């Protein structure tokens, strides 16, 4: 898209944030332009071209803009700036550093630098003169917080190059030359620590992308135990409003075994972002002992921020994730909520008067969602290292109905389904993931099964299946009890129902606001599941159905006290002993 | 409306539809306001030299030679402390017979607060209503609607909440208020003797429905003045947001936009979020809290209006008539305050979270017992006791006519626990049971 002369144009029409621009030269689909209004420059993106008219979506309010205003095209698509200093930042959907903006209110047309140009980084060379490199090759590294941030050959450089020189270990700003490479024609190219990449294009500088095969621990029991997600896996969390999507995502982002966490707050509440701003600088990263904020980047495009930038925000987040993945890191990407992104697409498509698909969403919604999810994944890099992007998006189905287009399209794209149930949320059974409808396709992958056996243990898969079976049988028993009445069924139905309640209360339900219960390491999950299943396998003596609930409520209570205690502490053992006694008394 | 020197006057309309007029005009800004035949209008489309204006009160009787005057500015409000005690219409013109307010001119519908300039909400708002304070505590900077059927006394509840909350300013945004409700608010505010701290923007059922689209922005522009410039805590009441959304759908329908669910415009979520997200806590101490009303039809919360609202607000307060006690209650199952965990047990007594949960759990057990009863099954002794508990709980705590402080609410809950259950059935942490159980 490089051009000698900038294409310019004039505003010819405006409807909300869709502006028609009459252009005097070539323009590209998705090219960025600026509309000049008084002393403001409003950023916009080309979304359709018909003859000399380019239709652009403006990332800002168009209030006051006039027909005839000047427009300048930039010759590139929407790009992010990649380099050290992205972690711990709070960006908007277009990667403006929010902390650098003046004033309480966002000012239209104010764009800020995503990186700090003054700060000096302690650079360590990794490549040597004479080596052959290509896009994504590691030239050196700096420590970004505690993360080794690799300085790479820019992704846009498509050829092979020979390293001419790399600077010595020392302190450099991001804009200083840290290496010189020579292309096949002998042209010398100086490189800095900064590069740019268009967000809508996937970064594909990896060697190959196998199916994900390694467990990614999240500390959330009903994910890790029942429907695990993998490093490089994809999952989605649909649920009616208030059922716990955001709380669950926050929990995962605090606890998951990831090197980098990128959170895209896409069209949701500002106060939820503020919660992250407030808490993450205080919370410890359980793996490094440093603060969580140090491994986290937040992309905040809250619901009151411009709608077009909302669409961009998820792509911005994904591109940052791809950048860190190429450094050989485990990246966890969260987007809350992908429905808001789909709605932004819908608003624009309606304004363009395109033929609408179901529920007035654009016809290509499914393809857009699939392409986006496809950018996640586990990769082998050309240097033999590995990296991953695990992506979990929330979906906010209209009316809580899972048959709507965004949920259906996402179901085709994501491999794990964590459906939140209104009934579970209403009865405060959090996290409200429906244990029976939810699934992880990864559990069926032989390579994942192998990994689980290796990481958790030989018997694990069998136990997981057994837990699922207990839940299913419990549900059936409950349905019978509801139809026939408490005393219209054999006592064994009550026993079966309460055994599923036991699994529900002890394994599935987890208090996201309790410092101990919030996160359960795999070792502890294994221990507790075995213990619960031992009870589920036992036969008990009951004279009357009312005794069943009494007994199980009591043991659930002890189990829960165990969940609230430090693993294997005195406290934990005390409850465990009481529990064992109770069970012994009852067992046949 | 004041006139300005550079105003351009046009007298030839090319097209007239139910809601819009189109004419040729030069140098017009998007979103700018104008008068068409003396009626307020706003630019909704520019195409070459053609300008389309949405006429708020409709286009009935507008002739093709109507006079059109462009104002060269978006809708504005003059803000100053003189707003206190005054009543305005949707355009910010006084309707109480008083003079125009002098002050600084502000565009309504201002940009969003930079999220990094917000503070996490942390200040409890006590209302005396246990269905709120005990189960769904409100926090300043929160946005929360009442979900209620049209026949429920939501405006009364909202007015008592507003007057009991210790806000520096209360701003009422009335949309499609009946004249009776308007007079009710006027009366109750006057009788409270605190008119100075109340500002009202009111569109009644006598006014054209589309005008109400301006009400929330007017109210929130005034709110931002007090919260940002004066560091005050401001409570904004928006009633009824369903009628606001209806007006949105009227406009989008008249403009031939493709409707999405329930004939609402596809942008409903963004349109509502833009308003509700004005709720904010500033580090300087100023805050805007929004309490709204969303009327339901037949209790259906899956309809696009309550559904989108629920996805935006920080919980909802569900009003329901409890036929057992013959009173309206705040339904503990379907209500939720998402910010309550920031204050309960911290700014309220330590046992608050546990007591709240235990009471709701027991109330849920009562609901199960009732289902059993309806299905013709025998009740156990426990079932019977939960039913008795539920009735007292509903009457003494959930009913909207309750007005006590939070400690008293907690004590009442303990009293009911002790009367109907044993300690294990209540299942609250041992240390609290020791301390508060009533023998
Ligand atoms: N794991 C949990 N433990 C305790 N409470 C929870 C849990 N998950 C959710 N909640 C409660 O439910 C409320 C709503 O949760 P959350 O904000 O995550 O819902 P959501 O699905 O994201 O809703 P929306 O679609 O409107 O954004 C929380 O404020 C909290 O009170
Ligand atoms: Mg949420």
Contact across the interface for A63 and B74, Cβ inside 8 Å: yes
Cβ(B266)–Cβ(A360) below 8 Å: yes
Q: Do B360 and B302 sit in the same domain of this protein?
A: no
Cβ(B280)–Cβ(B287) below 8 Å: yes
**What is the bridge-based pairing of β-strands B169-177 and B233-239?**
parallel
Residue B128: inside a domain: no
A452-459 CB contacts, 8 Å cutoff, 24+ apart: A452/A215, A452/A228, A455/A215, A455/A522, A456/A215, A456/A522, A456/A526, A457/A526
**Model-level pTM?**
0.94
Average pLDDT of chain B, as a whole number: 93
CA-to-CA separations, A264 to A272, A361, B384, in angstroms, rounded: 12, 22, 50
SS3 annotation, A489-505: CCHHHHHHHHHHHHHHH
Which residues, in sequence order, are CB contacts of A139 under 8 Å at separation 6+?
Answer: A125, A126, A127, A133, A150, A151, A152, A153, A163, A166, A178, A179, A191
CB-based contact (8 Å) between A403 and chain B? no
CA-to-CA separations, A252 to A135, A247, A261, A270, A396, in angstroms, rounded: 32, 9, 10, 19, 18
Residue % of chain A over a pLDDT of 70: 99
Q: How sure is the predictor about A292, in pLDDT bands with cuts at 50, 70 and 90? A: very high
Q: Answer yes or no: is pLDDT of B14 > 60.
A: yes
Run of H or E residues at A447: helix A446-455
Q: Do B254 and B223 sit in the same domain of this protein?
A: yes
Token couple for A330? 């485990």
Average pLDDT of chain A, as a whole number: 95
Run of H or E residues at B33: strand B33-36
List pLDDT tens digits, range B17-50. Answer: 888 999 999 999 999 999 999 999 999 999 999 9
Beta bridge partners of A195: A82
Question: Per-residue DSSP letters for A6-58?
Answer: --EEEEEEEETTEEEEEESS---TTEEEEEEETTEEEEEEEEEEETTEEEEEE
Beta bridge partners of A386: A380
Cβ(B218)–Cβ(B90) below 8 Å: yes
**What is the bridge-based pairing of β-strands B39-47 and B33-36?**
antiparallel
**Residue spans of beta strands (DSSP E) within B315-434:** 315-322, 327-330, 336-337
Q: Answer yes or no: is pLDDT of B5 > 70.
A: no
Structural domain total, chain B: 3
Q: Do B100 and B169 sit in the same domain of this protein?
A: yes
CATH code given to domain A460-586: 1.10.1140.10
Cβ(B309)–Cβ(B316) below 8 Å: yes
Interval A314-327 mean pLDDT: 98
- Regarding the beta carbon of A511 and ligand 1, being less than 6 Å apart is answered yes
Interval B287-295 mean pLDDT: 98
- H-only helix segments in A66-212: none
Q: Answer yes or no: is pLDDT of A547 > 50.
A: yes
Report how far residue B78's alpha carbon sits from residue B74's, in angstroms, rounded to the nearest whole number: 13
Q: Do B85 and B224 sit in the same domain of this protein?
A: yes
The reply to whether CATH 2.40.50.100 applies to domain A121-196 is yes
Q: Do B210 and B357 sit in the same domain of this protein?
A: no
Residue % of chain B over a pLDDT of 90: 83
Show the domain range for B423: 352-436
Token couple for B173? 């945004």
List pLDDT tens digits, range A126-157. Answer: 999 999 999 999 999 999 999 999 999 999 99
ipTM value: 0.92
Tell me B325's DSSP state. T
CA-to-CA separations, B229 to B120, B201, B232, B285, B326, in angstroms, rounded: 20, 20, 8, 11, 46
Tell me what pLDDT residue A451 has.
Answer: 97
Q: Do B205 and B307 sit in the same domain of this protein?
A: yes
CATH number of domain containing B38: 2.40.30.20
Q: Answer yes or no: is pLDDT of B2 > 50.
A: no
Cβ(A296)–Cβ(A259) below 8 Å: no
List pLDDT tens digits, range A447-493. Answer: 999 999 999 999 999 999 999 999 999 999 999 998 888 888 999 99
Residue B323: inside a domain: no
Rg (CA), chain B: 25
Report how far residue A374's alpha carbon sits from residue A381's, in angstroms, rounded to the nearest whole number: 17
List pLDDT tens digits, range A225-277. Answer: 999 999 999 999 999 999 999 999 999 999 999 999 999 999 999 999 999 99
Ligand 1 centroid to Cα of residue B339, in Å, is: 10
Chain A, 46-105: which have a CB under 8 Å from a chain B CB?
61-68, 90, 98-99, 101, 103-105
Domain boundary among B313, B344, B364: B313
Cβ(A337)–Cβ(A394) below 8 Å: yes
Place of tokens 């199980």: A552
Residue B420: inside a domain: yes
Interval A93-115 mean pLDDT: 95
- Regarding the beta carbon of A428 and ligand 1, being less than 6 Å apart is answered no
Q: Answer yes or no: is pLDDT of B356 > 70.
A: yes
CATH number of domain containing B266: 3.40.50.12240
Question: Per-residue DSSP letters for B289-311?
Answer: EEEEEEE-STT-TTSHHHHHHHH
Q: Which of B266, B304, B306, B362 to mutate to test the interface with A (most CBs of A within 10 A)?
A: B266
Cβ(B263)–Cβ(B198) below 8 Å: no
Beta bridge partners of B204: B177
Token couple for B342? 């920031």
Domain boundaries, chain A: 8-77, 121-196, 221-397+404-446, 460-586
Sign of CA dihedral B419, B421, B426, B432: positive
First to last CA, chain A: 78
Cβ-based contacts of B116 with chain A (< 8 Å): 90, 98-99, 101, 277
Residue B173: inside a domain: yes
Tell me A203's DSSP state. P
Which residue is closest to B49 within chain A, CA to CA? A67
Token couple for B353? 């979270």
CA-to-CA separations, A121 to A116, A168, A172, A327, B168, in angstroms, rounded: 11, 13, 5, 17, 49
Q: How sure is the predictor about A1, in pLDDT bands with cuts at 50, 70 and 90? A: low
Residue B2: inside a domain: no
CA-to-CA separations, A40 to A21, A93, A585, in angstroms, rounded: 17, 19, 78
Place of tokens 């603060």: A291
Nearest Cα to B244, choosing from B204, B203, B213? Answer: B213
List pLDDT tens digits, range B93-122. Answer: 999 999 999 999 999 998 899 999 999 999
Cβ(A153)–Cβ(A135) below 8 Å: yes
Q: Do B90 and B225 sit in the same domain of this protein?
A: yes
CB-based contact (8 Å) between A38 and chain B? no
Report how far residue B120's alpha carbon sits from residue A270's, in angstroms, rounded to the nearest whole number: 10
Chain B, 47-66: which have a CB under 8 Å from a chain A CB?
47-49
List the residue whose alpha carbon is closest to atom 31 of ligand 1: B338
Nearest Cα to B316, choosing from B325, B324, B299, B327? Answer: B299
Q: Do B225 and B298 sit in the same domain of this protein?
A: yes
Cis peptide before A249 (omega within 30 of 0): no
Which residues, in sequence order, are CB contacts of A530 under 8 Å at separation 6+?
Answer: A463
Q: How sure is the predictor about B6, in pLDDT bands with cuts at 50, 70 and 90? A: low
Sign of CA dihedral A62, A67, A73, A76: positive
Q: How far is A541 from chain B (nearest CA, A)?
A: 21
Contact across the interface for A303 and B269, Cβ inside 8 Å: yes
Residue % of chain A over a pLDDT of 90: 88
CB-based contact (8 Å) between B299 and chain A? no
| 3-state SS assignment for residue A90 | strand
Q: How sure is the predictor about B4, in pLDDT bands with cuts at 50, 70 and 90? A: low
| 3-state SS assignment for residue A407 | helix
- Name which of B27, B32, B115 is nearest A302 (Cβ-Cβ): B115
Report how far residue A208's alpha carbon sits from residue A381's, in angstroms, rounded to the nearest whole number: 7
Residue B119: inside a domain: no
Report how far residue A317's alpha carbon sits from residue A372's, in angstroms, rounded to the nearest whole number: 11
Q: Do B51 and B83 sit in the same domain of this protein?
A: no
Tell me what pLDDT residue A403 has.
Answer: 94
Interval B177-202 mean pLDDT: 92
Longest dimension (CA), chain B: 84
Q: Which fold has domain A8-77?
A: Thrombin, subunit H (2.40.10)
Cβ-based contacts of A547 with chain B (< 8 Å): none
List pLDDT tens digits, range B357-391. Answer: 999 999 999 999 999 899 888 898 999 999 999 99
Contact across the interface for B120 and A271, Cβ inside 8 Å: yes
Residue B371: inside a domain: yes
Q: How sure is the predictor about B3, in pLDDT bands with cuts at 50, 70 and 90? A: very low
Q: Answer yes or no: is pLDDT of B252 > 90.
A: no
Cβ(A228)–Cβ(A529) below 8 Å: no
List pLDDT tens digits, range A150-195. Answer: 999 999 999 999 999 999 999 999 999 999 999 999 999 999 999 9
Contact across the interface for B29 and A303, Cβ inside 8 Å: no
Q: How sure is the predictor about A387, in pLDDT bands with cuts at 50, 70 and 90? A: very high
Report how far residue A368's alpha carbon sits from residue A355's, in angstroms, rounded to the nearest whole number: 16
* A148 φψ region: left (φ > 0), alpha (ψ -120 to 50), beta (else): beta
Q: Which CATH superfamily includes the segment(s) A221-397+404-446?
A: P-loop containing nucleotide triphosphate hydrolases (3.40.50.300)
Q: Do B189 and B255 sit in the same domain of this protein?
A: yes
Q: Do B250 and B229 sit in the same domain of this protein?
A: yes
Interval A67-85 mean pLDDT: 97
Domain boundary among B260, B286, B313: B313
Report how far residue A321's alpha carbon sits from residue A142's, in angstroms, rounded to the nearest whole number: 18
Q: Do B91 and B184 sit in the same domain of this protein?
A: yes
Token couple for B320? 């329901």
Tell me what pLDDT residue A267 has.
Answer: 92
| 3-state SS assignment for residue A477 | helix
Nearest Cα to A35, choosing from A2, A63, A72? Answer: A72
CA-to-CA separations, A38 to A10, A74, A275, B275, in angstroms, rounded: 14, 19, 37, 27
Q: How far is B258 from chain A (nearest CA, A)?
A: 7
Residue B122: inside a domain: no
Interval A22-33 mean pLDDT: 96
**Residue spans of beta strands (DSSP E) within A193-314:** 195-198, 234-238, 260-266, 296-301
Give counts: helices (H), strands (E), chain B: 12, 21
């Amino acid at each position: 898209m490089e051009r000698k002369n900038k294409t310019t144009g004039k505003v010819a029409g405006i409807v909300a944030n869709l502006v028609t621009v009459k252009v005097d030269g070539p323009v590209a689909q998705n090219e960025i332009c600026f509309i000049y209004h008084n002393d403001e420059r409003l950023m916009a993106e080309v979304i359709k071209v018909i003859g000399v008219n380019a239709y652009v979506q403006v990332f800002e309010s168009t209030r006051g803009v006039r027909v005839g205003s000047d427009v300048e095209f930039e010759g590139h698509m929407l790009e992010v700036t990649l380099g050290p200093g992205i972690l711990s930042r709070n960006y908007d959907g277009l990667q403006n550093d929010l902390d650098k903006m003046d004033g309480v209110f966002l000012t239209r047309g104010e764009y800020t630098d995503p990186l700090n140009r003054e700060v000096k980084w302690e650079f360590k060379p990794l490549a040597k003169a004479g080596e052959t490199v290509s896009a994504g090759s590691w030239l050196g590294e700096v420590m970004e917080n505690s993360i080794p941030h690799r300085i790479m050959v820019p992704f846009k450089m498509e050829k092979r190059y020979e390293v001419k020189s790399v600077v010595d270990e020392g302190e450099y700003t991001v804009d200083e030359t840290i290496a010189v490479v020579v292309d096949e024609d002998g042209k010398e190219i100086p490189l800095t620590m900064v590069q740019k990449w268009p967000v809508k294009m996937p970064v594909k500088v990896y060697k190959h992308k196998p199916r994900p095969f390694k467990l990614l621990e999240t500390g959330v029991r009903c994910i890790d135990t029942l429907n695990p997600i993998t490093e490089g896996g994809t999952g989605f969390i649909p649920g009616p409003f208030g059922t716990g999507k955001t709380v669950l995502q926050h929990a995962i982002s605090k606890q998951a075994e990831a090197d980098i966490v990128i959170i895209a707050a896409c069209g949701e509440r500002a106060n939820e972002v503020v919660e992250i701003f407030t808490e993450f600088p205080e919370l410890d990263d359980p793996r490094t002992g440093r603060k969580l904020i140090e491994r986290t980047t937040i992309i905040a495009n809250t619901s009151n921020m411009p709608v077009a930038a909302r669409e961009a925000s998820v792509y911005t987040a994904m591109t940052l994730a791809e950048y860190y993945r190429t450094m050989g890191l485990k990246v966890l990407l969260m987007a809350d909520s992908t429905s808001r992104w789909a709605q932004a697409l819908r608003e624009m498509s309606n304004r363009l008067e395109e033929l609408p698909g179901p529920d007035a969403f654009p016809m290509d919604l499914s393809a857009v969602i699939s392409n986006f999810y496809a950018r996640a994944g586990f990769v082998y890099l050309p240097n033999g290292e590995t990296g991953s992007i695990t992506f979990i998006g929330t979906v906010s189905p209209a009316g809580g109905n899972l048959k709507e287009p965004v949920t259906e399209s996402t179901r085709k794209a994501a491999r794990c389904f964590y459906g939140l149930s209104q009934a579970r949320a209403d009865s405060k059974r959090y996290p409200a993931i429906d244990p029976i409808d939810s699934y992880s396709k990864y559990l069926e992958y032989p390579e994942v099964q192998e990994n689980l056996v290796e990481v958790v243990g030989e018997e694990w898969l069998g136990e997981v299946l057994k837990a699922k079976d207990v839940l299913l049988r419990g549900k059936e028993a409950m349905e019978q009890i509801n139809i026939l009445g408490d005393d219209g069924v054999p006592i064994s139905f009550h026993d079966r129902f309460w055994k599923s309640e036991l699994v529900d209360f002890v394994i599935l339900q987890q208090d996201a606001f309790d410092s101990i219960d919030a996160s359960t390491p795999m070792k502890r999950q294994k221990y507790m599941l075995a213990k619960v299943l031992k009870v589920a396998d036992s036969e008990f003596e009951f004279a009357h159905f009312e005794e069943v609930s009494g007994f199980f409520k009591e043991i659930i209570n002890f189990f829960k006290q165990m969940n609230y205690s430090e693993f294997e502490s005195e406290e934990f053992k005390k409850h465990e002993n009481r529990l064992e006694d109770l069970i012994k008394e009852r067992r046949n | 409306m004041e006139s300005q020197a550079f105003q351009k006057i046009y007298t030839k309309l090319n097209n007239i539809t139910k809601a819009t007029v189109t004419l040729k005009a030069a140098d017009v800004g998007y979103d700018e306001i104008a008068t068409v035949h003396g009626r307020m209008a706003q630019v909704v489309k520019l195409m070459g030299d053609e300008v389309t204006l949405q006429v708020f009160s409709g286009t009935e009787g507008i002739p093709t030679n109507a006079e059109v005057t462009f104002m060269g500015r978006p809708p504005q409000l003059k803000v100053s402390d003189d707003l206190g005690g005054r009543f305005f219409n949707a355009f910010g013109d006084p309707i109480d017979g008083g003079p125009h307010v002098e002050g600084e001119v502000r565009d309504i519908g201002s940009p969003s607060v930079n999220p990094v300039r917000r503070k996490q909400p942390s200040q409890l708002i006590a209302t005396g209503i246990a269905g709120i304070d005990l189960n769904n505590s409100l926090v300043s900077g929160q946005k929360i609607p009442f979900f209620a059927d049209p026949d429920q006394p939501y405006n009364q509840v909202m007015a008592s909440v507003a007057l009991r909350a210790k806000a520096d300013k209360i701003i009422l945004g009335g949309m499609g208020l009946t004249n009776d409700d308007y007079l009710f608010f006027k009366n109750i505010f006057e009788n409270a003797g605190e008119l100075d701290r109340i500002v009202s923007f009111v569109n009644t059922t006598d006014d054209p429905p589309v005008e109400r689209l301006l009400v929330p922005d007017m109210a929130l522009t005034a709110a931002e003045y007090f919260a940002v410039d004066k560091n005050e805590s401001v409570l904004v009441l928006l009633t009824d947001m369903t009628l606001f959304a209806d007006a949105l759908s009227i406009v989008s329908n008249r403009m031939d936009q493709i409707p999405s669910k329930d004939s609402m415009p596809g942008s409903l979520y963004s349109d509502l979020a833009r308003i509700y997200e004005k709720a904010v806590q500033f580090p300087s101490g100023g805050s805007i809290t929004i309490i709204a009303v969303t009327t339901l039809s037949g209790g259906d919360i899956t309809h696009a209006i309550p559904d989108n609202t629920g996805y935006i607000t920080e919980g909802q307060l569900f009003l329901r008539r409890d036929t057992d006690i013959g009173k309206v209650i705040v339904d503990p199952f379907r209500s939720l305050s998402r910010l309550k965990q920031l204050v309960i047990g911290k700014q309220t007594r330590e046992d608050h979270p546990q007591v709240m949960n235990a009471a709701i759990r027991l109330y849920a057990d009562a609901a199960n017992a009732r289902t059993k009863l309806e299905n013709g099954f025998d009740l156990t002794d426990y079932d019977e006791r939960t039913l008795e508990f539920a009735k007292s709980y509903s009457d003494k705590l959930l009913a909207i006519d309750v007005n006590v402080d939070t400690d008293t609410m907690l004590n009442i809950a303990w009293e009911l626990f002790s009367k109907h259950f044993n300690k294990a059935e209540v299942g609250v942490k041992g240390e609290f049971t020791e301390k508060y159980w009533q023998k």
